[in-house]
Amino acid sequence: MQQKLRVGVFFGGCSAEHEISLMSAVNVINALDSSKYEIIPIGVDRNGKMFLQHLLMSSQGKVQGEIKLIPHINNQVVLVPGTGHGLLVNLFTKEKLHAIDIAFPIMHGSYGEDGTIQGVIKAANVPFVGSDLLSSAICMDKDIAKRLLRDAGLPIVDFITLHKHSRDQIEPQQIIKKLGLPCFVKPANLGSSIGVFKVKDKKDLASAIDSAFEYDNKVLIEKYIEGREIECAVLGNTELKTSLPGEVIPKQEFYSYDAKYFDDNGADVVAVADISKELQSQIQSLAIDAFRCLECQGMARVDFFLAKDDEIFINEVNTVPGFTAISQYPKMWEASGLLCPILLDELITLALAHFDEQKSLKITP
- CATH classification at residue 56: 3.40.50.20
What CATH number has the domain bearing residue 260? 3.30.470.20
In this prediction, residue 267 has a pLDDT band, given cuts at 50, 70 and 90, of: confident
What is the rounded CA–CA span in Å between residue 349 and residue 355? Answer: 10
Q: How many CA atoms lie within 13 A of 63 on its CB side?
A: 22
What is the rounded CA–CA span in Å between residue 291 and residue 138? Answer: 11
Q: Which residues contact 152 (CB under 8 A, 6 or more apart)?
A: 289, 293
Q: Work out the mean pLDDT of the chain and round it to a whole number.
A: 93
| 231-260 exposure pattern, b = at least 16 Cβ within 10 A, e = fewer | bbbbbbeeeeebbbbbbbebeeebbbbebb
Question: Could you say which DSSP state residue 164 is in?
Answer: G
| Domain co-membership, 277 together with 204 | no
Instruction: State the average pLDDT over residues 98-103.
Output: 96
DSSP element (H, E) containing 117: helix 116-123
Tell me, yes or no, whether 361 lies in a domain. no
**Cα first-last separation, the chain:** 41
Tell me, yes or no, whether 239 lies in a domain. yes
Pairing state between β 102-105 and 5-12? parallel
| Domain co-membership, 113 together with 254 | no
Instruction: State the average pLDDT over residues 212-231.
Output: 95
| Domain co-membership, 218 together with 312 | no
Q: How far is CA 310 from CA 150, 230, 234, 276, 291, in A?
A: 19, 12, 22, 10, 22
Question: Could you say which DSSP state residue 201 is in?
Answer: S
Residues 20 and 115: beta-carbon distance below 8 Å: no
Tell me, yes or no, whether 242 lies in a domain. yes
Instruction: State the average pLDDT over residues 287-308.
Output: 98
- Tell me what pLDDT residue 164 has: 94
| Domain co-membership, 53 together with 112 | yes
Domain count, the chain: 3
Instruction: State the average pLDDT over residues 219-247.
Output: 97
Tell me, yes or no, whether 215 lies in a domain. yes
Instruction: State the average pLDDT over residues 141-150.
Output: 97
| Domain co-membership, 219 together with 230 | no
Reduced to 3 states, what is the DSSP secondary structure of residue 300?
A: strand
Q: Across-strand partners of 199?
A: 183
DSSP element (H, E) containing 223: strand 218-223
| Domain co-membership, 163 together with 251 | no
Q: How many CA atoms lie within 13 A of 190 on its CB side?
A: 26
Residue 152: pLDDT over 80: yes
Residue 258: pLDDT over 70: no
In this prediction, residue 192 has a pLDDT band, given cuts at 50, 70 and 90, of: low
Reduced to 3 states, what is the DSSP secondary structure of residue 94?
A: coil
| Domain co-membership, 124 together with 241 | no
Peptide bond into 330 cis (omega under 30): no
Residue 255: pLDDT over 80: no
- Tell me what pLDDT residue 50 has: 97
Q: Which domain holds residue 123?
A: 5-128
| Domain co-membership, 147 together with 274 | yes
What CATH number has the domain bearing residue 186? 3.30.1490.20
pLDDT digits (tens, 9 = 90+) for 20-57: 999 999 999 999 999 999 999 999 999 999 999 999 88
In this prediction, residue 326 has a pLDDT band, given cuts at 50, 70 and 90, of: confident
Tell me, yes or no, whether 364 lies in a domain. no
CA neighbor of 102 nearest in space, from 354, 364, 357, 365: 354
Domain limit, last residue, from 181, 200, 223 = 223
Domain limit, last residue, from 168, 199, 223 = 223
Tell me, yes or no, whether 358 lies in a domain. no
Q: Across-strand partners of 296?
A: none
Q: Which residues contact 67 (CB under 8 A, 6 or more apart)?
A: 11, 22, 23, 25, 26, 41, 43, 53, 55
Q: Across-strand partners of 8?
A: 40, 103
The rounded percent of the chain whose pLDDT value lies above 90 is 82
- Tell me what pLDDT residue 253 has: 65
Q: Which residues contact 92 (CB under 8 A, 6 or more apart)?
A: 73, 74, 76
| Domain co-membership, 201 together with 68 | no
Q: Name which residue leads in pLDDT, 250 or 318.
A: 318
pLDDT digits (tens, 9 = 90+) for 310-325: 999 999 999 999 999 8
| Domain co-membership, 263 together with 335 | yes
What is the rounded CA–CA span in Å between residue 313 and residue 123? Answer: 36
- Tell me what pLDDT residue 147 has: 98
- Tell me what pLDDT residue 57 has: 84
Tell me, yes or no, whether 363 lies in a domain. no
pLDDT digits (tens, 9 = 90+) for 12-29: 999 888 999 999 999 999
Domain limit, last residue, from 192, 223, 254 = 223
- Tell me what pLDDT residue 265 has: 67
Angle at 344 between CA 343 and CA 350, to 5 degrees: 90
CA neighbor of 187 nearest in space, from 257, 251, 239: 257
Residues 133 and 122: beta-carbon distance below 8 Å: yes
The rounded percent of the chain whose pLDDT value lies above 70 is 95
| Domain co-membership, 345 together with 239 | yes
| Domain co-membership, 45 together with 194 | no
Tell me, yes or no, whether 275 lies in a domain. yes
